[in-house]
Amino acid sequence: MTRDATRRTKARYDRIAPIYDRMEAVVEELAFRRWRKKLWAHVDGGRVLEVGVGTGKNILYHPEGAGVTAVDISDRMLERARQRAWDLQADMGLTLMDAERLGFPDAVFDAAVATFVFCSVPDPVKALKEVDRVVKPGGRIVLLEHVRVNRPIVGQLMDLLDPLVLRLMGPHISRRTAENVAKAGLETERVEELTAGGLVKLIIARSSGKTEG
Ligand SMILES: C[S@@+](CC[C@H](N)C(=O)[O-])C[C@H]1O[C@@H](n2cnc3c(N)ncnc32)[C@H](O)[C@@H]1O
């Protein structure tokens, strides 16, 4: 994926950062909170990487004893995450970093999480390989993602609208993230459908132990 695509992604999230939490307030209340709690229940603690931290909405749900290092490509989203970490007195690391080029050594994290991120990363398979590389072999990689619905008309409509939604809001709506997890070589433990039609999935995988990115 080109650096241009990455720059465009960063610019989109920098642009929507001031309104991001308000944009999502209703769905956050109705569903996301519950799903975030569910995701974090699969993380035991230890050294945890959060990819695409955004405005830091997961901070509330960090398990006790976890040392979380969070990265994002957007300075503006990170600014908000820093403020939230400060408000919640969360002791965590927050760093500007591209998920496709993680600046961490191999196998340093016990687990990794991401919520609604691999719909935005320009090259999701490359980024998933990077996550695989930095998590210890067998360590959990837990993702909460909206994905392309695997039904004829709805799926095709999502493919059609994908470029427009990408331009206006930032994410792709037709990503096949469960398939991308397998393509990146991670070992899928379980995929849980959180909504009817398979629009939102909780993907629980394990690091393969491969070290090449
Ligand atoms: C839809 S937001 C989700 C934010 C947060 N995880 C949440 O649940 O609210 C996607 C986030 O992924 C970040 N992102 C996109 N591409 C990225 C990349 N290549 N590396 C790191 N972060 C990226 C964006 O900047 C944005 O903050």
pLDDT digits (tens, 9 = 90+) for 21-67: 999 999 999 999 999 999 999 999 899 999 999 999 999 999 998 99
Give the single-character DSSP code of 149: -
Q: Is the CB of 32 under 6 A from ligand 1?
A: no
Res. 142: pLDDT tops 60: yes
Q: Is the CB of 173 under 6 A from ligand 1?
A: no
Q: Whose CA is nearest to atom 10 of ligand 1?
A: 117
Res. 1: pLDDT tops 60: no
For the domain made up of 3-206, give the CATH fold.
Rossmann fold (3.40.50)
pLDDT above 90 covers a percentage of the chain that reads 78
- 120-153 burial, b at 16+ Cβ within 10 Å, e below that, comes to bbbbbbbbbbbbbbbbbeebbbbbbbbbbbeeee
Band the pLDDT of 212: cuts 50, 70, 90. Answer: low
At residue 45, the pLDDT reads: 83
Mean pLDDT in the chain? 93
CA distance 101 to 97: 8
Instruction: Please report which helix (H) or strand (E) contains residue 180, including its range.
Output: helix 177-183
Domain boundaries, the chain: 3-206
At residue 181, the pLDDT reads: 97
At residue 99, the pLDDT reads: 98
Q: Is the CB of 35 under 6 A from ligand 1?
A: no
Ligand 1 test: best mutation among 21, 28, 73, 76, most atoms within 8 Å of CB?
A: 73
pLDDT digits (tens, 9 = 90+) for 86-131: 999 999 999 999 999 999 999 999 999 999 999 999 999 999 999 9
